Structure 1
Amino acid sequence: MNRRVARLRAAQALYQVDVIKEEPELAMTSVLDEDERPNTFFHQLVHGTLEHKDELDGWISSNLQGYTIERMGHVDRAIARMALFEMKYIEDIPVNVTFNEAIELAKAFGGEEAGRFMNGVLSNSVEMMQDENEI
């Protein structure tokens, strides 16, 4: 499983945890294809995002204009949380790589508009995090 696939599967698992309140381990298992083997990165994304969810939601909420985090689409929320976790806590991946991967994931699930929305949310969040030396 490469990092791109790990991000996709992690977003799917996080969606399940958020929407249907699935247990993380069960959600992680359910999103894997029959021949896929989870890697450390996949586990790190899911567990780390869930562990820091309140903090990540704070960053996201601070950067939504005219929205609340509850009004965000479930998939967009899962991707934004995961991307911000990766940017802040996984040091060996450049922020711009994570940023672009999150936008591509949002587009894959929701089209160009979702990509633009993700770009705006993450741009504002990254700028705020950089201003506060969080990343």
Structure 2
Amino acid sequence: MASRRTGESVDILLVEDNPGDVRLTQEAFAELDLEDALYVVNDGETALDFVNQRGAHEDAPRPDLVLLDLNLPKIDGMTVLDEIKTDPELRRIPVVVLTGSGAQEDIVESYDRHSNAYLTKPIDPEEFVDLVGSFEDFWLSLVELPPSNQ
């Protein structure tokens, strides 16, 4: 899908294993009245199944954008990032690392593996809503996303 400027919704995959952070993200999207579809998976293996539309996720939409935590069970976020960015059918999907780590080595490694952005989750819920609002302003209103079917 293009962008929200064209009036189309955007399918967003949130890859997050912390139920509190999932709830906070969902609440922030609801508070900002975002109409986009937010799908949630809680481990790296399921994230790869979702983006590849296999197994229980064979009917899932190909996400237009992935919000990816790094510390995940089964398959870690860096490996998920590698798998997406090295697959010719998936690599155009923007991947935004959204994690609790502000460690320089994680930031550098994420960009080395071709993440499109790196955001550190704030602890304060109001700051988190502000972060999601900024994210929405940029990624869902200004950026032209590639079509998800190509």
TM-score, normalised with respect to structure 2: 0.30
Higher relative helix content: 1
Higher relative contact order (CA 8 A, sep 6+): 2
Higher relative strand content: 2
